[in-house]
Chain A
């Protein structure tokens, strides 16, 4: 379990003090995939670096399994970092080493024997699907392949926690999906705790169990992904859920329409047009106020905001109809949020 208690971080610059994080309190459970989302400059990268003390908090403490890692000596901290590893937006592979030797690197640092390290590294390259790239150099790989090597490298020391700092931000949607799939698979198979930092809602929707929304160094919302995104309460959350502005898609109260937010968490895409089918089957006309969905492989991610004219019964009926599809979450959006 990772506990951040009252973590604040201030940077002193030429123009004075900048407060990057303010009183952040988070608890991340063992084995979960935890997302931290926010706009650029919200303090996400600083926050994730506090977890392995690449940045030391100005105030507050970070405890991993009850151990205050801010109080450790440099040598002890280096040991902790073998069990809390990290992947990055820019991959940060050693460009003059082969992929195999990149994966060997953390093992070399830990003092493992060369042939044992090589055997372990080969195993990991196979895990991430690149057994044939052992002797290639990073420059010869695509972005997605580089991130796979970086993941293999991060897993080499058998860590308990994997920190992902915008790990998919430099990748195209398809590659992003395959990397997230790999991270989920590793999480399932090894029970590793994963913390994902991102500015993309799709990454959180697709991967995370719980999410914290960071705005200007403050955690403004936290909870289960479905709950937070289905009913965003804070301004920051609404900006993420309705990137074009919530007001633009939410008509005034007097329109008489009720609104349903439909969240697709990897629902199976079918040939049937869902909304049209609802109109035919249930005779409910839905007005699509906004939609941001994408198909990745044969699955749908994203969300849709529907305006439905009618009473409680009609809305409940529509919600029930839509929820009958697996991996779709439906929530009514109130105006007073």
Chain B
């Protein structure tokens, strides 16, 4: 199927595209991924905190009905396939961005798809925290808000960074998918040239660049998480 992908001819054909379109595509992919992750954290972090703090054994137990509703909504959003979700949120995307096509427009479905995932990641980070530390804070007269802001979140920072790294690499993958419905970036190039026009070499290069980006995000995230963790003796 991929016969002729690596011939001299296809290389000559691909070269102008690689030089003219790839720098912009890489940039689009990076900023869409970073922006989407940032928004997903802005929404997902408080939700994740709520999932842990509002638990019946949490520091701020909330109404059981509210908590189960929250859980169901998060699971629901997470179970819709991303491709379908992108189409489902068209009205919302149009409302916010004014159009459903383009690089900026793809941020909306990416955030909608990612924040429930981030909420669950935050939840798992916060649940790792030793409950005795929370009890100690309570014994010193800390209020629920103080426990959340001064104990739960700061003590979980290394684990949160690790989990946000997982989130950013997943969102990078989603952003490539958004090329199908008009999102920009490496995904669009891979689909347009590779799938529609049989220029497989271009597709391979796009995929390799995506792999490189994942590696970079993962490496930076791992380093940052390790550096921030004061439990490691140095």
Contacts and interface: CB of A to CB of B under 8 A. Distances in A.
Interface string B121-150: 000000000101101111111110010001
B146 A54 contact: no
A96 B130 CA distance: 13
Contact of A137 (B132, B135, B150, B230): B230
Interface centre among B141, B158, B229 (most CB of A within 10 A): B141
A140 B139 contact: no
B139 A105 contact: no
Contact of B136 (A77, A78, A86, A108): A86
Interface in A43-63: 52, 54
A131 B135 CA distance: 27
B140 A92 contact: no
B141 A81 contact: yes
A106 interface: yes
A273 B50 CA distance: 66
Interface string A144-163: 00000000011001000001
Nearest to A75: B143
Contact of A140 (B142, B158, B229, B233): B233
A108 B150 CA distance: 10
A75 B143 CA distance: 8
Given A92-B133, A95-B231, A96-B230, A105 B150 contact: yes
Contact of B141 (A82, A98, A137, A139): A82
B74 interface: no
B105 to A, nearest CB: 39
B140 A157 contact: yes
Contacts, number: 80
A94 B233 contact: no
Contacts of A157: 140-141
Contacts of A98: 230
A109 B150 contact: yes
Interface string A192-227: 000000000000000000000000000000000000
B151 interface: yes
A321 interface: no
A138 B232 CA distance: 10
A27 interface: no
Interface string B220-234: 000000001111111
Nearest to A74: B143
B154 A94 contact: yes
Contacts of B166: none
Nearest to A81: B141
A82 B146 CA distance: 15
Contact of A52 (B139, B158, B234): B139
A54 B130 CA distance: 16
Contacts of A74: 143
Interface of B: 130, 132-133, 135-143, 146, 150-151, 154-155, 157-158, 228-234
Interface of A: 52, 54, 74-75, 77-82, 85-86, 88, 90, 92-98, 105-106, 108-110, 137-140, 153-154, 157, 163
10 closest Cβ contacts across the A-B interface?
A: A92-B136, A81-B141, A78-B141, A137-B230, A106-B140, A86-B139, A139-B231, A82-B141, A92-B132, A95-B231
26 contacts: A54-B138, A54-B139, A81-B139, A81-B140, A81-B141, A88-B132, A90-B132, A93-B133, A94-B133, A95-B133, A95-B231, A96-B155, A96-B157, A96-B228, A96-B231, A98-B230, A105-B150, A106-B141, A108-B150, A109-B137, A109-B150, A137-B231, A138-B230, A139-B231, A139-B233, A157-B141
